[in-house]
Structure 1
Amino acid sequence: MKLKSHSLSIIHIVLLFNNKLRRKSMDPKDLEIKKLKKEISISSIKQYAFILLFVAEIILIGAVFIDFFNLKNPFSDVSASKKIALLHIDHPITTKYVEHLIKSVEDIKKEKPYKALLVDISSPGGSPTASQEFAAYLKDLNKTMPVTMYVNDMAASGAYYIASAIKPIYANKNAIVGSIGVIMPHYNVSELAQKLGVKEDTITAGKFKQPFSLLKEMTKENKQYIENALLKPTYRNFVEDVAANRGIPKEKIKKFAEGKIYIASMPEIQGILVDKITNLYKLKARLKKQYDDARFVTIGERPTPRNFLHVMMKEALSLLTETFSNAPRQ
C-alpha cells in the first residue's frame, strides 16, 4: 500500500516538472497571443449574448405595440375575431366582375374572424344574368354571414337587382335607385355602309337565326321576336325576383318597374324600393358597435384604369360581348 502511494507521488512530481518545463520552453509572445485569444473569445460571447437579448427585447416591445394598436400581429392576431368585410361594387355588372366579387367573398369565408359583410354599391347596372347570379349568391350568403346593403351613388337596373337581394336597403338620400327594366340597343348604320360601298352578305339557315344586324333595318317581325323571346321574359324574371326579395306583391312593384329612376329619399318609394335613409359613416359606426368594435377590411378592390376613356371603352366592349353571347342560339 505504501509502495503504491509512493509511486503515485513520484508520477505527480514528474508531471509538475514537465509542466514547468513546457512553460519555460514556451515563448513569451506565444503566451501573450494565447491570453489575447482567450480575452477575445470571452468578449465575443458577451457581445453575442447582448445582441440576442437586444433582439428579444425589440420583438417583445413590437409585439406589445402591435397588440396595443390592434394591428395585424404575426405572433398572435388578437384582432382576428373582430372583422367586417367591406365590399365596394363600383363597376358595370358583367359576368367577369361578378366572378371576381364572388371569389373575393369566398376567400374571406375561409377565415372565421369575419363576422359580417357590408356591401357599398355604386353601379349603373349591366348584364341581367350576372346581376341575378350575384343577387342569388348574396341571399344564400346572408343565411350564414349577415349582409348589410348600402346604396351610395346609385343602384340602377342590374345593380338594383343585386341590392334588392338584401333587406333592409339603406341608401344615401341623393342616391339613384330603380331603372327596373330591360334594354337591348340596336344601331342601324346601313346608310353609312351604303356610302362606303359596304354590303352584308350573310348566309343563315332558320328564319330568326339573325334577327338584327348593324347593316340593315330590323323588321317589325324580328323586333317582335326579340321582344317576346328576350326582353319580356328577362323583364318578368327581374320584376318577380325584386318582388320576392322585397317581400312586396308583384303588382305593387310593377308600378315602379317601368324603367324609371328615383332619388332614394322620395316619399313614394319608401318601404318599396328603399327602407332607410342614412350615411355610410353612420352605418359603419352602428355595425362596428354591433360587432364589438370590429374593424372594417376592404375586399374585392380592382385596379383603377388610367383614364375615363379607357374605363368606358373597356366596359362598353365587355357589355357588348356579353349581349351577343347571351343572344339566343340554336
Structure 2
Amino acid sequence: MALSRGARFVLLFITLAVIVSIGGMAMGYYMVSRGPQVESESVLWLRVPPVLTERSPDDLLGLLSGDGGSTVGSIVGALRKAKVDDRVTAVVLAPSPGIASWAAMQEIRDAVADYRKSGKPIVGYVEFGLAPAYYLASACDEVVMTPSSPLILVGVAAYEMFLRGALDKLGLEADMVAAGDYKTAINGYTETTFTPEHREATDALVRDLYEQLADGIAEGRGMTAARVRALIDEGPFVPADAVRHGLVDELAYEDELLARLAPDDDEPATIDAGEYRRVSARSLGLGGGPRIAVVYAEGPILMGSAGGALPGMSSIIGSRSTSRAIRQAREDDSIEAIVLRVNSPGGDATASDIIWRELVLARDEKPLVASMSEVAASGGYYIAAPAHSIVAQPGTVTGSIGVFAGKFAARGALEKLGVGMEGVTYGAQADLLSPVDRFSEAGRASMQAQVDDIYERFLQVVVDGREMSRNDVHAVGQGRVWTGRQALDRGLVDELGGLREAVELAKAQAGIDADRDVTLVTYPAARSLFDALRVGVRTWSTLGGAAAWAEGPEAETARTLWWQARLASRGAPLLLMPPLLVQ
C-alpha cells in the first residue's frame, strides 16, 4: 500500500534527523578525540552557569548540544588541569549572577584555593554583582567588576511558598500526616505561613549560611568577618564605593581585563571551559592508577529506573537503576572503593530503602564514602547513612530525618466545576486513597501508624550507620534540616569538604598511598543517543514537559513543589525536605 503524502513527509523527516544526528555524533567524536588547540600563554575563561549539575546532561538536548561544561566536576577539573598546564598562564572565573548553590560554590572555591598554589593568577570577574556571584569571585587573587554593575551585597534571605490559601480557593484539601515536629515539607500545602518550628529551623539554617558568606568573603579579601558583616549592612554599593571599601579591586570590561592579562600587549589567546574540557587530564600527567567508583545519585528518589519521568528534571534517582549501578561497582574486582555522590532532597521511602540495602551490601565488601553536594536531605541522607564516612560542604543542606504521607482531596474543587465523583468500594479501608475525600478517622490513624513505623526505621538506619544512640538521632532528627557545618557538630557527617576530600578518604580506607593518583569510574553509565531520544519523547509528551525550558532557582522551586505534590497525591510515605529558595 502506498504511503500517504503526510506519512512520506514524516518518514523523510525522521530519516534526515537520524542522518544529522549520526553526522553530529561522528563530528563530535572526532573533535573530542583530537583535542583542542591550546596556544601558549593562554587565558582560561571559566564561566560558571546559574544551574550546576553533578554530571553532564544525558537527556536529548544535552547529547545533541554537546553541553558538558556546566557541571561542578568540569569546572573543578578545569582548574585542576590549568594548575599544571604550562600553556595556561592565567584563569578568569566568571560566575553567573543567578548562581545559587552554596555547596557548589564552596567546592569551586576549594578548587580555586588549590589552583592558587601554582602561583599563576586567577581573577574573579563579576558581570553583575549579586552576593552569590561575588562570594565565589572573592576566593580569587583579585575581583574585577563591570563598570556599570552595582554590588548587591546585602546578606542572605530564604523564601518558602505556602499554597494553603490558593488550595482553599480551588476547593482542594491537603490531608497530610507526618513524623517529626520539624518535618515541614507538608507545610507548603497545609499552612499559610511559618509554624514556630518551621521558622526556628529556617532561621538557624539561614543564619549559618549568612555566617559562611561573611567568613568566606573575609578570608578572600583579607578582612575580618565583623568588618564584612558591617559592610553587608551598608550595602548595596555603587561600583566606585565597592572599590573604595576594598570589596572590588578594579572596574573593567571583559576586553580590558583580557588585554591586561595578555603578555607584551599582544592579542590575548583565550580558551573557554567547553573547549578546555576536551584537554585530556592524562596528557597533563593527571589520573591513572587504582580505580575508584563514583556513583552519582542526583535528583528526587523514585521507584523504578531513572529516565526523565518528571518534567523539568534532567536526572532522577531510580531505585532499580541506582541499585544496579552500585551493584556493578561492588562486583567489579578492579574497583577498590566506592564514593556515593549525593545531590537529592529525598523522595519515595521504599525506593530510598531499596538503594540503602544495596549500599549496605557494598559497604560490607569495599570502602564506601558518601560525598554530599548541594542537598542530601531526608531520603538523600537515608542513602548516605550506611557509608563508612560522610563528607559535606559547610553549605550543604542535609538532615531532614523525618517522614510524611498524605493526599489531596478534590471533592470541593470538583463541586465548584459541577463535576460529581462517586465510587464503589469493598473493604473497610478501600477508600483510603480516595482522590475526592479526606481520610476517615480510621484511615488517618492507619496512615499515621505507617509514617511512625518508617520514622523509627529511619532512626535505626542512622543509628546503625553513624553508631549513635536512638535518642541522640531523634534529638537531631524530627525532620529538622541542617547545614553541613551544623551537621558536623551534631555527628551526622564526619568531615567538611567536597568530592576531592571524599576520594582522599576512600583512598585511605582502601590502603592507597595518599600521593598516588587514581582513576575515577563514574556510574551509572551515560545514556546512549537512542535511549535519550526514547526518554525525551516520553517526557516531552507530558503536559509539564515544557518546564524543562525554565531555568534559575525560582523555576527549580516551582518544579520541586509540582513533583512533591504529584508524589504526595499517591499516598506513599515520603522522605522529603521542603523546597527552599535561598538568595
Q: Is the contact made by 2:369 and 2:505 (CA closer than 8 Å) also made in structure 1?
A: no
1:251 aligns with 2:480: no
- Compared CA separation, residues 302 and 262, structure 1 to 2 (3 A): farther
Spell out the pairing of 1:188-207 with structure 2 (5 A cutoff): 188-207=409-428
Q: Read off the aligned partner of 2:300 and give its amino acid letter.
A: P
Comparing 199-208 with 158-167, which one deviates more in the overlay?
A: 199-208
- Compared CA separation, residues 299 and 125, structure 1 to 2 (3 A): same
Structure exhibiting the larger radius of gyration computed from Cα positions: 1
Q: Deviations over 1:222-277 (max 9, x none)?
A: 2222212x21111111112211221111011111221110111027x525212211
Distance, in Å, in 2 between the alignment partners of 1:257 and 1:240 is 12
Match of residue 82, structure 1, among 266, 273, 290? 290
Partner residue in 2 for 1:63: none
Partner residue in 1 for 2:497: 278
Distance, in Å, in 2 between the alignment partners of 1:222 and 1:282 is 47
Partner residue in 2 for 1:6: none
1:320 Cα offset (Å): 5.8
Distance, in Å, in 2 between the alignment partners of 1:113 and 1:163 is 23
SS of structure 2 residue aligned to 1:86: strand
Distance, in Å, in 2 between the alignment partners of 1:170 and 1:145 is 17
1:287 Cα offset (Å): 4.6
> How many residues are treated as equivalent by the alignment?
250
- Compared CA separation, residues 324 and 216, structure 1 to 2 (3 A): same
SS of structure 1 residue aligned to 2:520: strand
- Compared CA separation, residues 250 and 285, structure 1 to 2 (3 A): closer
Distance, in Å, in 2 between the alignment partners of 1:302 and 1:85 is 14
- Compared CA separation, residues 255 and 315, structure 1 to 2 (3 A): same
Calculate the aligned-residue CA RMSD, in Å.
Answer: 3.3
Q: Read off the aligned partner of 2:547 and give its amino acid letter.
A: L
Q: Is the contact made by 2:327 and 2:362 (CA closer than 8 Å) also made in structure 1?
A: no
Distance, in Å, in 1 between the alignment partners of 2:391 and 2:463 is 17
Distance, in Å, in 1 between the alignment partners of 2:445 and 2:453 is 13
Distance, in Å, in 2 between the alignment partners of 1:325 and 1:285 is 36
Spell out the pairing of 1:182-261 with structure 2 (5 A cutoff): 182-228=403-449, 230-261=450-481
Q: Read off the aligned partner of 1:86 and give its amino acid letter.
A: V
Partner residue in 2 for 1:293: 517
Distance, in Å, in 2 between the alignment partners of 1:321 and 1:223 is 15
Match of residue 309, structure 1, among 539, 544, 547? 547
- Compared CA separation, residues 134 and 263, structure 1 to 2 (3 A): same
Distance, in Å, in 2 between the alignment partners of 1:231 and 1:184 is 7
Distance, in Å, in 2 between the alignment partners of 1:84 and 1:237 is 31
Q: Read off the aligned partner of 1:105 and give its amino acid letter.
A: I
- Compared CA separation, residues 275 and 191, structure 1 to 2 (3 A): same
Q: Read off the aligned partner of 1:103 and give its amino acid letter.
A: R
Spell out the pairing of 1:166-181 with structure 2 (5 A cutoff): 166-181=387-402
Q: Deviations over 1:70-92 (max 9, x none)?
A: 69xxxxxxx6x721111111021
- Compared CA separation, residues 250 and 110, structure 1 to 2 (3 A): closer
Structure 1 residue runs of 4 or more that deviate by more than 4 Å after TM superposition? 285-289, 301-308, 310-318, 320-326
Spell out the pairing of 1:141-160 with structure 2 (5 A cutoff): 141-160=362-381
- Compared CA separation, residues 251 and 214, structure 1 to 2 (3 A): same
Q: Deviations over 1:20-53 (max 9, x none)?
A: xxxxxxxxxxxxxxxxxxxxxxxxxxxxxxxxxx
SS of structure 2 residue aligned to 1:185: strand
Distance, in Å, in 1 between the alignment partners of 2:457 and 2:384 is 15
1:201 Cα offset (Å): 1.5
- Compared CA separation, residues 322 and 104, structure 1 to 2 (3 A): farther
Comparing 240-249 with 219-228, which one deviates more in the overlay?
A: 219-228
**Could you state the TM-score of these two structures normalised by the residue count of structure 2?**
0.39
Q: Deviations over 1:82-112 (max 9, x none)?
A: 2111111102111221211122233344542
1:130 aligns with 2:368: no
SS of structure 2 residue aligned to 1:187: strand
Q: Deviations over 1:119-143 (max 9, x none)?
A: 1111010111111121122122112
Q: Read off the aligned partner of 1:277 and give its amino acid letter.
A: L
Distance, in Å, in 1 between the alignment partners of 2:494 and 2:484 is 9
Q: Deviations over 1:127-177 (max 9, x none)?
A: 111111211221221121211111111111111111111132111110011
Distance, in Å, in 2 between the alignment partners of 1:155 and 1:91 is 10
- Compared CA separation, residues 142 and 225, structure 1 to 2 (3 A): closer
Higher helix share: 1
Partner residue in 1 for 2:112: none
Distance, in Å, in 2 between the alignment partners of 1:206 and 1:110 is 45
- Compared CA separation, residues 324 and 212, structure 1 to 2 (3 A): same
